[in-house]
Amino acid sequence: MIFSSTRSLPFPRANALLISVLPALLVGCGGDDDPGERAATVRFAAQINGEAFTCGKTYSGVGVGQPGSYQVNDWRFYVHDVALVKADGNRQPLDLDQDGTWQYQNVALLDLRQDCGSGTLPSNNVVKGAVPSANYTGICFKVGVPYALNHLNDATAPSPLNASGMLWNWRGGRKFIRLDGFGAPGSDNSTAFVVHLGSTECPGADPSAPPVAACGYPNIAEFCLDNFNVDQDRVVMDMGHALAGSNVAFNTANTASGCMSGNADPECIPILPRLNLDFTYVAGASATPEHYSKVTPQVLFSVGKP
Amino acid sequence: MKLQRYPAGVLLLSALLTLTACGGGDGDGSDTTTPQPPTTDAGYAWSLPAGFPTPKESADNPMSAAKVELGRHLFYDLRLSVNQTTACASCHLPERAFTDGRVTAIGATGEVHPRNAMSLTNVVYNATLNWANPVLSMLHAQALIPMFGEFPIELGWSDHEAEILDRLRRDGQYVQLFAAAWPGEADPFNADRVAKAIAAFEATLISGNSAYDQSTLQGKWDAMSPAARRGQELFFSERMECFHCHGGFNFSQSVSHAGTTITQTDFFNNGLYNIGGTGDYPLDNRGLWEFTQQPADMGRFRPPTLRNIELTAPYMHDGSIATLDEVLDHYARGGRLISSGPFAGDGAKSPYKSELIVPFILNAQEKQDLIAFLNSLTDWEFICDPRFADPFGNFPRHARCP
């Protein structure tokens, strides 16, 4: 099964594995219909506190504080390094279909909107690929875009890395998660409250250029779920859980609406730790940084059984 | 060969795959910065600025140099209107980055259009055309609207099609231009051919050599002033949020090119109106709502490119903001307050306003810096490009052009 082990290499480590790849290439060319291989489709679902997500719908009981009503108008996120996990704990990276649209190298874009009140939108709730046939009992994946692909020029980057709605600026890369919405919609207190996760403190003097070194806070978290049957189950993302400590009808003046990952944005303090990320809050130039550890076990993703 | 499914892999890896000759050869390069060839199937070579993507060519209207040249003539020809007073260029003046400087456009017979004439800068990269039409994406389909539109009349082709086409048919230069553009066609003088030639010309109106581009993509750091650089930081800040709707290489989230496979048809309500607190916009300008009648679509319009924005005043879909300075005031407030009259209401409190239109405070220096940045998006080579100029001499070039 030397071929199985090579085809599964996670892309960022490709260089390191060239030595092992080369012999595999020399022994033959293989093919997509390798009998030892199977297709695998990982299905995702979105929920707000256990309730299925419908774009444009207003949910109640979100976060802390009253009234806790929250209208959700966008929900997209990137994942990468998706792997199925065998019973013995060994991981088998999913070799993603290079479909030219939703998946590129080891990255996939999930777009769960479908329809935000004005008709059908391009949407995608699956990650498709292939793995060697085996008994898999779990799944691991990372949310976000790996550094090597995150800061490509949007003009020439391949899909889905050129999805314009997921762009930050060139230096900042992509939004890893985009959740847009309003707290207390329709009331006098209606407040734009979004969650835009991405890398922060990416060094460089020019926002229209790649960072000159790795970002200070990559904000890429890995998630592993046990008892996951890829043929039956869904990976459920619940942003209601991410907002469990937030007042979605309040935003600190002169900071980004909700949390856009900024280290000076107090609205991120209760949110990033619930996205399985440590968060450093720095109120200002002379302030002492405050560290907030990620919530464990993570609360963002769970396995949805049929 | 599964590894080849990574179409733009690590250089060395790609090289090894090539050496082992395991099939493939699907033309995918190993350089992620130039995934598309700059030449169409029919051999038309796009002229693209550094770092720009290959435009998406319409299958119904393959590009050719002959079509572009015919289209340039038609675009500037006053005979294309019913009363021979108005050309496409009348509302899309090259000296104003292909806008007209009016609040809203005026047709050949004097009828007033409800909307502000849009810039044609980089129109080939728009995911959709017009201010709020979610289904119009082909330039040649769009061109038929000003030709045949009756509400209002723009060029006035309706019921006058034969008369207008006869003018062209009788002109020896057009006989040659049409024959070159559609070789072998016995009578190419029809509305479809006119629209497609104009579309081919419009597709060449690509602007990507502003001070910003020179600094960003051509290694000329000094091309942008320090003020423009400071403004750039503001533009791309979460405090101002400009780039959420006006992001990416074309400074618009509504973008389409050969490399985009996910349709990106974005429309936003930016808080210009909230008539009587209902969220309504004026009856003749309700944006995407006019197509869908969905409440959430009230007042949603496509974010236009900000390239050459310095030259395209007045601003907004209805031309209701005169200057960039006032545009910044509008966004700083998070929406426009209209205190009296039939449109009275506070746009900042519209229930349909985008989440990303939020108030901010700019001091005078920051405001100047931001405008300096917006001005750094002006591309004088584009404005003055002789390839885009009027062959008849009716429409002057910008005074700044050599």
Contacts of residue A30 in chain B, CB cutoff 8 Å?
Answer: 1-2
Judgement on whether residues A4 and A55 belong to the same structural domain of the protein = no
Residue B193's pLDDT is 98
pLDDT at A281: 97
For residue A202, the chain B residues in CB contact (below 8 A) are: none
Do A145 and A192 sit in the same domain of this protein? yes
The reported pLDDT for the residue numbered A4 is 37
Residues A54 and A166 in one domain: yes
pLDDT value of position B3 = 36
The alpha carbon dihedral of B192, B195, B198, B200 has a sign of: negative
- Report the residue from B8, B10, B215 with minimal CB separation from A158: B8
> For B292, which of A119, A153, A164 is closest by C-beta distance?
A119
Higher pLDDT residue, A306 or B263?
Answer: A306
A and B: number of Cβ contacts within 8 A:
180
pLDDT along chain B (402 residues), means of 10: 37 35 38 59 93 94 98 98 98 98 97 97 96 94 96 96 98 98 96 98 98 94 96 91 92 94 88 96 95 91 97 98 98 96 96 92 96 98 97 95 93
Average pLDDT over residues A274-283: 97
Domain count, chain A: 2
Tell me: do A27 and A116 sit in the same domain: no
Domain carrying residue A14 = 1-35
Length of chain B: 402
Q: Which among B23, B33, B260 is the nearest to A153, CB-wise?
A: B33
Inter-chain touch B260–A159, beta carbons under 8 Å: yes
Where residue A263 falls among pLDDT bands split at 50, 70, 90? Answer: very high
pLDDT of residue A28: 39
Mean pLDDT of chain A: 89
Average pLDDT of the segment spanning A24-52: 76
Of B17, B254, B358, the CB nearest to A257: B358
Q: What is the pLDDT of residue B7?
A: 39
Q: Do B236 and A22 touch (CB under 8 A)?
A: no
Cβ density class B1-37: b for 16+ within 10 Å, e for less: bbbbbbbbbbeebbebbeebebebeeebebebeebbe
Structure tokens at B163: 């008369």
**A191, pLDDT greater than 60:** yes
DSSP output for B264-329: ----B--SS--BTTTTB--TT--BTHHHH--GGGTTBBPPPP-TTGGGS-SBSTT--B--HHHHHH
pLDDT recorded at residue B192: 97
A43/A172 same-domain check:
yes
State the DSSP string of A22-51: HHHHHH----TT-TTEEEEEEEEEEEETTE
Residue A116: predicted pLDDT: 77
Q: What is the pLDDT of residue A24?
A: 42
Mean pLDDT of the A253-275 span: 95
**Smallest CA–CA distance from A172 into chain B, residue:** B236
Q: Are strands B337-338 and B345-346 parallel, antiparallel or unpaired?
A: antiparallel
A195: nearest CA partner in chain B: B355
> Do A3 and A147 share a domain, yes or no?
no
pLDDT tens profile A122-152: 899 999 999 999 999 999 999 999 999 999 9
Instruction: State how far residue A299 is from chain B, nearest Cα, in angstroms.
Output: 26
Q: Is the CB of residue A217 less than 8 Å from the CB of residue A150? A: no
The residue of chain A with its CA nearest to that of B346 is A188
Are both A28 and A156 inside the same structural domain?
Answer: no
| A4 and A65 within one domain | no
Which residues of chain B make contact with A254, given a CB cutoff of 8 A?
239, 360-361
How much is the pLDDT for A287? 93
Q: How would residue A65 be classed by pLDDT, with cut points 50, 70 and 90?
A: confident
d(CA A255, CA A268): 10
| Residue A79 C-alpha, separation from nearest chain B C-alpha, in angstroms | 17
All structural domains of chain B: 1-32 (no CATH), 65-206 (1.10.760.10), 211-379 (1.10.760.10)
A260-267: list long-range contacts, CB under 8 Å, 24+ apart: A260/A194, A260/A196, A260/A198, A260/B238, A261/A196, A261/A197, A261/A198, A261/A199, A261/A200, A261/A217, A261/A219, A262/A200, A262/B238, A263/A200, A263/A201, A263/A217, A265/B238, A267/A193
pLDDT at B30: 40
Nearest residue in A to B126, CA atom = A164
What is the SS3 string spanning B173-242?
Answer: HHHHHHHHHCCCCCCCCCHHHHHHHHHHHHCCCCCCCCHHHHHHHCCCHHHCCHHHHHHHHHHCCCCCCH
Q: Between chains, do B236 and A208 touch, taking CB under 8 Å as contact?
A: yes
At B29 the pLDDT is 37
